[in-house]
Structure 1
Amino acid sequence: MADDLAEDLTLEELEVAIASLRNSLESMSHDDADFYSTTTLLAHALRKLYLLSRPHEGLSALEESITFLQQAIDSSFVGDGRRAEWLISLAFGLSLRCDATESESDAIEASQVAYGAVDAVEKDDPSYATILQSAYHFIGKNAIRLHDEDDLDKMFEMHKSILAVTPVDHPKLKSRLRSYDDTMFKLYLSFGQKDALEEAIRASEYIINIPDQSSEEHATNVWILAQRLVQRYLRTGTSADLDDSIRACQQAVDDTPISSKNRQRRLQSLCDRLGEKYSQTLEEADFQAAKVVVDQILNHLPMKPRSRARSLGNIGIILSLRYRQTGHDDHFQQAIRVASEAVDLTADGEIGRAVRLSNLGGVYAEAYHKTGNKERLEEAIRIGRDALTATHNGHPDKALRHFNLADRLQLRYLELESTDNLEEAISLYRLVLNQFSAPMFLRVQAGYSMMQCCVWNRDWNEAYKAGSQTIDHLSLFRPLSLQNTDIQREASKLLGLGTETASLALEVGKSAATALEFLEMARGVMASSINVLRADIKDFERDFPELAGRYKHLRDQLDTGSVPRSDFALGEEVWENEMSQRYDTGEQISALLEEIRSKPGFENFSRPEDEERMRSAAALGPVIVVNVGPLACDAIIIQQDGFSAIPLPRLDKNDIDSKYQSLGRGSLKVLEWLWDVVAEPILTALGFTEPPHSGEMKRVWWVLTGSLSTFPIHAAGRYSQRNGEAVMDRVMSSYATSVSAIVQSRRTAPVSHNKALLVSAGETPGHRRLAFADKCQILR
Structure 2
Amino acid sequence: MTSRQNELEEAAEQLNKQHLELCQVFRRTSDVAILEKALGCITQAIEKTASEAFACSGTRAAHLTNLGRCQTWLFEATGNIVHLDGSINAASLAVQTVPESSQLVPICHVNLSNALAQRYFFKGVKRTDDFDKALEQARIAVATTEEDSEYFSSARSTLASRLAEYFNYIDRDDKYMDEAIQINTELVEKTSENDELYGVSVVNLSADIQDRFRRYGKIEDLLMAKKYSTFAIKAFPPGSQYHLLAVRRYAEAVYDIVDTTGETKELEAAIEGLNALELKTHNAQDLAKIHHEKSRLYEMKYRNFSDPKDLDRSVQSANAALNNLSDESGFLGIVLQRLSNVLAVRAEMQMSLEDINAAIDYARQSADVVSGILAREAVALNALANRYATKFELFGGMQNLKDSMAFRRRQLELLPEDHKDRPMRMHALAITLRNYFEQYGSILYLDESIVLERNAVESLPKSSPERPMVLDGLSHSLSERCKITGDTHDLQEAITASEAAVDGLPSGHKDRSAFLNGLSNRLNSRYSKFKNRDDLDRAITAATEAVSACEGGSSSYYIYLNTLSSCLHSRFEAYQDPSDLDKTIEIARQCLHHTPISNPFRINALSNLGLRLQTAYFRATEDEEKLRYLEESLHIAAQCVDQTPKDHPSLPGFLSQLAGRQLFLAPLMHGATDEELLSQMMLAASTYEQAFNQTYDTPLSRIRNGEFCGYIYMERGNWENASRMLMTSVGLFRRVSPLSLNDNDRQRQLHGLSGISSLACACFIAVGNPEKGLEVLEAGRGIMANIAMGYHTDLSDLRNADAQLHNEYIDLRNRLSEPLPEIQMGPSHGEDIVAERNADLVQFEALESKIRDLPGFETFNRSMTAESLRKLAVFGPIVAFCTVDQRCDAIIVTQAGIEAIRLLDLKNSDIKVQISNVVGKSRLSLMAPSRRGVANKKMRHLLEWIWDKAVQPVLEHLHLLGDEELPPERKTRLWWVTSGPMGLLPLHAAGKGSKIPLQNTYAHIISSYIPSFASLAFARQCQEKVDVASPAMALITMPHTPGGLNSLATEDESQAIREVFATSSHINVQLRELCQPSAEVVFHHIRDSNVDMLHLACHAEPDFDDPSNTALLFGSDPNATEPDQLPVGHLRHLHTSPRSNRRPPRLAYLSACCTAQQYDLRLIDENIHLASAFQLCGFPAVVGTLWEADDAAAVEIVKAFYKELFRLDRECREGLVESQSGYHVARALDYAIGLYRRMKIGRGSAAMDALAWAGFVHIGA
The alignment's TM-score, normalised by the length of structure 2, stands at 0.49
800, 805, 814: which one aligns with 1:542: 800
Measured after TM superposition, the shift of residue 623 of structure 1 is 1.5
Tell me how large the CA RMSD over aligned residues is. Answer: 4.9
811, 820, 837: which one aligns with 1:583: 837
313, 319, 329: which one aligns with 2:578: 329
For the residue of structure 2 that corresponds to 1:674, the secondary structure is: helix
Q: Greater shift after overlay, 523-532 or 624-633?
A: 523-532
Q: Does 1:645 align with 2:864?
A: no
Q: In structure 2, what is the equivalent of residue 25 of structure 1?
A: none
Q: In structure 1, what is the equivalent of residue 719 of structure 2?
A: 460
CA gap 1:761/1:211 in 2 versus in 1, 3 angstroms: closer
Counterparts of residues 242-261 of structure 1 (less than 5 Å): 242-256=491-505, 258=507, 260-261=509-510
For the residue of structure 2 that corresponds to 1:779, the secondary structure is: helix
Measured after TM superposition, the shift of residue 507 of structure 1 is 0.7
Distance 1:185 1:571 in 2: 16
683, 707, 713: which one aligns with 2:987: 713
Structure 1 counterpart of 2:984, one-letter code: T
Structure 2 counterpart of 1:429, one-letter code: Y
The alignment's TM-score, normalised by the length of structure 1, stands at 0.75
Q: Does 1:207 align with 2:482?
A: no
Q: Does 1:233 align with 2:492?
A: no
Distance 1:389 1:303 in 2: 28
Counterparts of residues 326-725 of structure 1 (less than 5 Å): 326-374=575-623, 375-376=625-626, 378-390=628-640, 392-393=644-645, 394-416=647-669, 418-478=677-737, 480=739, 483=742, 488-489=747-748, 491-510=750-769, 512-525=770-783, 527=785, 529-531=787-789, 536-561=794-819, 580=833, 583-584=837-838, 585-660=840-915, 667-690=939-962, 691=964, 696-719=970-993, 722=996, 724-725=998-999
Measured after TM superposition, the shift of residue 737 of structure 1 is 1.0
Measured after TM superposition, the shift of residue 577 of structure 1 is 11
Any idea what the Cα deviations from partners look like across 1:273-329, whole Å, max 9, x if unmatched? Answer: 333333444433123212322332343342325343323222222222221122122
Structure 2 counterpart of 1:332, one-letter code: L
CA gap 1:629/1:303 in 2 versus in 1, 3 angstroms: closer
Q: Greater shift after overlay, 732-741 or 249-258?
A: 249-258
Judge conservation of contact 1:497–1:522 (CA < 8 Å) in 2. yes
Q: Does 1:757 align with 2:1001?
A: no
Q: Structure 2 unaligned runs (5+)?
A: 1-77, 80-284, 293-314, 327-335, 671-676, 919-923, 925-935, 1062-1261
Measured after TM superposition, the shift of residue 601 of structure 1 is 2.7
Measured after TM superposition, the shift of residue 168 of structure 1 is 2.5
CA gap 1:233/1:746 in 2 versus in 1, 3 angstroms: same
Structure 2 counterpart of 1:182, one-letter code: I
Judge conservation of contact 2:431–2:473 (CA < 8 Å) in 1. no
Any idea what the Cα deviations from partners look like across 1:389-439, whole Å, max 9, x if unmatched? Answer: 245234433322322332333333345583343222212211222212323
Any idea what the Cα deviations from partners look like across 1:117-148, whole Å, max 9, x if unmatched? Answer: 9xxxx999999999999999999999995548
Any idea what the Cα deviations from partners look like across 1:499-544, whole Å, max 9, x if unmatched? Answer: 221111111232x221111111111226563437997112123323
Judge conservation of contact 2:888–2:907 (CA < 8 Å) in 1. yes
Judge conservation of contact 1:479–1:528 (CA < 8 Å) in 2. no
CA gap 1:171/1:323 in 2 versus in 1, 3 angstroms: closer
773, 776, 780: which one aligns with 2:1057: 776
Structure 1 counterpart of 2:956, one-letter code: T
Structure 2 counterpart of 1:466, one-letter code: M
Measured after TM superposition, the shift of residue 741 of structure 1 is 0.8
For the residue of structure 1 that corresponds to 2:1008, the secondary structure is: strand
Judge conservation of contact 1:503–1:630 (CA < 8 Å) in 2. no
CA gap 1:213/1:772 in 2 versus in 1, 3 angstroms: closer
CA gap 1:714/1:134 in 2 versus in 1, 3 angstroms: same
Distance 1:443 1:358 in 2: 19
Q: In structure 2, what is the equivalent of residue 98 of structure 1?
A: none
Any idea what the Cα deviations from partners look like across 1:532-557, whole Å, max 9, x if unmatched? Answer: 79971121233233332222112111
Structure 1 counterpart of 2:500, one-letter code: Q
Measured after TM superposition, the shift of residue 658 of structure 1 is 4.2
Any idea what the Cα deviations from partners look like across 1:366-406, whole Å, max 9, x if unmatched? Answer: 33434434324541442253255245234433322322332
Which structure would you say has the larger RCO, counting Cα contacts within 8 Å and 6 or more residues apart? 1
Judge conservation of contact 1:700–1:733 (CA < 8 Å) in 2. yes
Judge conservation of contact 1:618–1:638 (CA < 8 Å) in 2. yes
Judge conservation of contact 1:525–1:533 (CA < 8 Å) in 2. no
Q: Does 1:735 align with 2:1009?
A: yes
Distance 1:539 1:461 in 2: 38
Distance 1:535 1:643 in 2: 27
Judge conservation of contact 1:443–1:470 (CA < 8 Å) in 2. yes
For the residue of structure 1 that corresponds to 2:977, the secondary structure is: strand
Distance 2:390 2:439 in 1: 11
Distance 1:309 1:673 in 2: 59
Distance 1:149 1:476 in 2: 31
Measured after TM superposition, the shift of residue 445 of structure 1 is 1.4
Any idea what the Cα deviations from partners look like across 1:437-457, whole Å, max 9, x if unmatched? Answer: 323212111111222222222
Counterparts of residues 177-192 of structure 1 (less than 5 Å): 177-192=426-441
Distance 1:295 1:48 in 2: 35
Judge conservation of contact 2:438–2:820 (CA < 8 Å) in 1. no
CA gap 1:61/1:485 in 2 versus in 1, 3 angstroms: closer
Q: In structure 2, what is the equivalent of residue 312 of structure 1?
A: 561
Distance 1:314 1:127 in 2: 39
Measured after TM superposition, the shift of residue 171 of structure 1 is 5.6
Any idea what the Cα deviations from partners look like across 1:328-381, whole Å, max 9, x if unmatched? Answer: 223233333333222222233423333233333333333343443432454144
Measured after TM superposition, the shift of residue 594 of structure 1 is 4.0
CA gap 1:163/1:150 in 2 versus in 1, 3 angstroms: closer
Distance 1:578 1:528 in 2: 35
For the residue of structure 2 that corresponds to 1:403, the secondary structure is: helix
Judge conservation of contact 1:189–1:580 (CA < 8 Å) in 2. no
Structure 2 counterpart of 1:614, one-letter code: L
Measured after TM superposition, the shift of residue 559 of structure 1 is 2.9
Judge conservation of contact 2:738–2:813 (CA < 8 Å) in 1. no
Distance 1:571 1:222 in 2: 26
Distance 1:672 1:729 in 2: 14
Judge conservation of contact 1:482–1:528 (CA < 8 Å) in 2. no
Judge conservation of contact 2:405–2:429 (CA < 8 Å) in 1. no
Q: Greater shift after overlay, 45-54 or 207-216?
A: 45-54
CA gap 1:384/1:252 in 2 versus in 1, 3 angstroms: farther
Judge conservation of contact 1:635–1:648 (CA < 8 Å) in 2. yes
Distance 2:759 2:1032 in 1: 45
Measured after TM superposition, the shift of residue 732 of structure 1 is 1.7
CA gap 1:265/1:502 in 2 versus in 1, 3 angstroms: same
Distance 2:1059 2:698 in 1: 60
Measured after TM superposition, the shift of residue 738 of structure 1 is 0.9
